[in-house]
Amino acid sequence: MPTSGPDAMQPALRRRRRRQGFLLPFACLSAALIAAALLPGAAFADGVTPSEARRLRDEVKDMFYHAFDGYMQHAFPLDELRPLSCQGEDSLGGYALTLIDSLDTLALLGDKERFDAAVEWVGKNVRFDINKTVSVFETNIRILGGLLSAHLIASDYATGMRIQSYDDQLLHLAADLAQRLLPAFDTPTELAIRNRPRVWTHITSTAGGGTLTLEFGVLSRLTNDSVYERVTKNSVRGIWARRSKLDLVGAHINVFTGEWTQKDAGIGTSIDSFYEYLLKEAYKAAMHYLHHDPWYVEVNMNSGATVWPLFNSLQAFWPGLQVLAGDVDPAIRTHAAFFSVWKKYGFTPEGFNLATSTVQNGQRSYPLRPELIESTYWLFKATRDYRYLDVGRDILASLQYGAKCPCGYCHISDVETHQQDDHMESFFLAETVKYLWLLFDLAAGPDNIVENGPYKYIFSTEGHLLPATPQITLLDEHCLYAGAFCNGTAGHGYGTGDSSNKHQNANSVPFDDSRTPSDQSLSNILSTTRGYIKGVCPGLTHAQKLGISYSAEEDNSIQQNSGSSENLDESHVIKSSVQAQSSSVILISHPVASQTEEPTSGRSQYNANIVATAESVGTDTAGASSHPEDLVKETESVSEQKEINDKEIASQGSQPTEGRYLT
């Protein structure tokens, strides 16, 4: 590992049964808070004004630099910062983790000088030919994802962040890293092991084995080597093939035998990001067995019996995912419930017991997680409801007054005492600050590559920005409706409609006061040259125009309905508040353009073939328990189910529907 210190870059140089009417009692939580948060147009006493949104955006930017500069001065090139003692530590592999995880945030902020210097240093100094035991999952989402995102930004003039001297150094590093991780997939089940060979465990989490395809898939497209995408797809397929008869997956699985070692199914810890890849296949079962409106519990994957009536902080990504899937109403209710926990403590604990309304023993900490902020951003983007700016302001205040410490931002070891812990994970800069900044920038009149840059961007599990470019997407299978990528092949001609302009206008919040131009404005440096042809792609089905991939079994129904679908008025599509792309890659296309529009417009009107189908959301479950005492009884009556033997696994192991993660 190079011993270069910060001087090498200074000064030119941070996760996750429906039972209608069911509401757990909260002795200490404010029921009025949850109720108020659910009222259309509800706002807190002191609503965020346009000028305050700009001030809050700048405050978040200062937050980023306080933590980033603290890392560069006191921890670099070690992995992470110890913000209380102003020291560094190697926590993942010893290759400047926080810097790599922060690269695309620097680009998002328009900090070309530091982005350039950071990319140059990483390209020259980071090497993976070292003897380290690493987490395959964390290395993938943080390091591989960070390298790929920065490469795609640094190598493209259209982003406004092109580095003249850049020669694909980060892409070469990404390929080298992925090649070294490939042995992790060499198991009898083809499921990825948790660590590299020689120092490994037989057990992997569902999220750990099923949240690898996006980064590996992008790498395959960029290098024209299909092996990376193939092995990760086999891993996620292997997990789904071993689902229970209820279409639920457990939390941990033995990668050598294929047997589930922990059969608790939920949307949070150890499973969360798996849903980002197979939401379409798994959503209906999750809502039927896990959803106690507005909360979610953990159940036995075979029986559906409640195991844990627990909210854990990683569940907080779920409302954002529901927004992207088009199921906004339950997302609003769940987000309000989750935020009520934050309001109670100032932070969300790792675990909150819904039966007792208390913090779960041993899960009292808040490690600067981004999930609630992520969902807040997506809900504001979809609804333009200003209450989410109030939420963001409260979260920012909690971080500033509870987590800020001398050299960065500290973990909170106990949400009741707000005692600080000397640790700052890299995802604080890669996700937490990023989503918070995006929220306020969107309100202030967005000036960033996500909202008005040259491409639509996919957010990875780690919040890394991956552009939906022709180089990555499969042009013969996918054509974005607004700002479409059209290659003129396979009968896909192209037109020159103005849909892209409508899309850009829809991204702006209709504030009344004038906007103060930012010194870091990207609008002046974004190149007008585009690497694709913008416009409408004729000859595509309605689904293809929306960027939705359908599973194989739906193809017949799509073909039967394509005639009427293709004739839909384009203006209806433009007004849709959110668009979805099945299985893994889900893109926002057209947020609600005006506050005066009814928030529900464009939610329940979606084509039944979209991820959140009409039959999978909004219906009640017959005989569902509606009283908290029933939940307690159900929890107490849980009995461990007999282990699934190999024969059962084989009988359940039909090949799952292939999700097109990048199309």
Closest CA to 373 of 296, 444, 446, 427: 427
Asked if residues 330 and 291 have their Cβ atoms less than 8 Å apart, the reply is yes
How far apart, in whole angstroms, are the C-alpha atoms of residue 196 and residue 193?
7
**Per-residue pLDDT at 533:** 29
Active site residues: 138, 272, 350, 371
How far apart, in whole angstroms, are the C-alpha atoms of residue 215 and residue 137?
11
What value does the mean pLDDT of the chain take?
73
**Per-residue pLDDT at 469:** 85
User: How far from 65 is each of 13, 386, 463, CA to CA, in Å?
Assistant: 11, 27, 18
Residue 215 sits at the vertex; the CA angle it makes with 195 and 223, to the nearest 5 degrees, is 110
pLDDT band at 607 (very low <50, low <70, confident <90, very high): very low
Asked if residues 164 and 172 have their Cβ atoms less than 8 Å apart, the reply is no
Average pLDDT over residues 284-289: 98
Judge whether 473 is annotated as a binding position: no
Q: Where are the beta strands (DSSP E) in 7-112?
A: 80-82, 87-89
Instruction: Give 164's Cβ-side CA count (13 Å radius).
Output: 1
Q: Beta-carbon neighbour count of residue 627 at 10 Å?
A: 14
How far apart, in whole angstroms, are the C-alpha atoms of residue 499 and residue 72?
43
Average pLDDT over residues 336-346: 98
Joined tokens for residue 361: 């023993």
| Sequence-ordered list of residues with C-beta below 8 angstroms from that of 210, at least 6 positions apart, any chain | 235, 236, 239, 240, 273, 274, 277, 278
pLDDT band at 470 (very low <50, low <70, confident <90, very high): confident
Helix (H, G, I), strand (E, B) or coil at 38: helix
Give the total residue count for the chain.
663
Helix (H, G, I), strand (E, B) or coil at 253: strand
Average pLDDT over residues 282-296: 98
Closest CA to 460 of 150, 151, 212: 212
**Per-residue pLDDT at 192:** 87
**Per-residue pLDDT at 521:** 30
Report DSSP letters for 201-229, one per residue.
-SEEEHHHHHS-HHHHHHHHHHHT-THHH
pLDDT band at 472 (very low <50, low <70, confident <90, very high): confident
Query: How many angstroms from the chain centroid is the CA of residue 229?
Result: 19
Which residue would you say has higher pLDDT here, 248 or 522? 248
How far apart, in whole angstroms, are the C-alpha atoms of residue 575 and residue 569?
11
Beta bridge partners of 298: 308
Give the helix/strand (H/E) hosting 100.
helix 97-108
pLDDT digits (tens, 9 = 90+) for 531-581: 222 333 444 443 343 333 333 333 333 333 434 333 333 333 223 333 332
pLDDT at residue 455 tops 70? yes
Which residue would you say has higher pLDDT here, 279 or 483? 279
Range with lowest mean pLDDT among 45-49, 95-99, 270-274, 493-497: 493-497
pLDDT digits (tens, 9 = 90+) for 195-252: 544 445 789 999 999 999 999 999 999 999 999 999 999 999 999 999 999 999 999 9
Asked if residues 128 and 105 have their Cβ atoms less than 8 Å apart, the reply is no
pLDDT digits (tens, 9 = 90+) for 298-324: 999 999 999 999 999 999 999 999 999
Range with lowest mean pLDDT among 109-113, 286-290, 568-572: 568-572
Percent with pLDDT over 90 in the chain: 59
Beta strands at 306-308 and 298-300: parallel, antiparallel or unpaired: antiparallel
Please name each of the domains of the chain with its CATH number: 93-278+453-483 (1.50.10.10)
Which residue would you say has higher pLDDT here, 24 or 183? 183
Average pLDDT over residues 32-50: 53
Asked if residues 177 and 147 have their Cβ atoms less than 8 Å apart, the reply is yes
Burial class of residue 168 in the structure, from the number of CB atoms within 10 Å of its CB (0-12 exposed, 13-18 middle, 19+ buried): middle
**Per-residue pLDDT at 234:** 95
pLDDT at residue 333 tops 50? yes
pLDDT at residue 33 tops 90? no
pLDDT digits (tens, 9 = 90+) for 404-423: 999 999 999 999 999 999 99
Asked if residues 346 and 402 have their Cβ atoms less than 8 Å apart, the reply is yes
Sign, Cα dihedral of 439, 219, 146, 520: negative
pLDDT band at 507 (very low <50, low <70, confident <90, very high): very low
Average pLDDT over residues 583-596: 28
How far apart, in whole angstroms, are the C-alpha atoms of residue 298 and residue 376?
23
How far apart, in whole angstroms, are the C-alpha atoms of residue 488 and residue 376?
39
pLDDT band at 499 (very low <50, low <70, confident <90, very high): very low
**Per-residue pLDDT at 46:** 65
Q: 0.95 exceeded by the pTM?
A: no
End-to-end Cα distance, the chain: 38
Average pLDDT over residues 629-634: 39
pLDDT digits (tens, 9 = 90+) for 141-158: 999 999 999 999 999 999
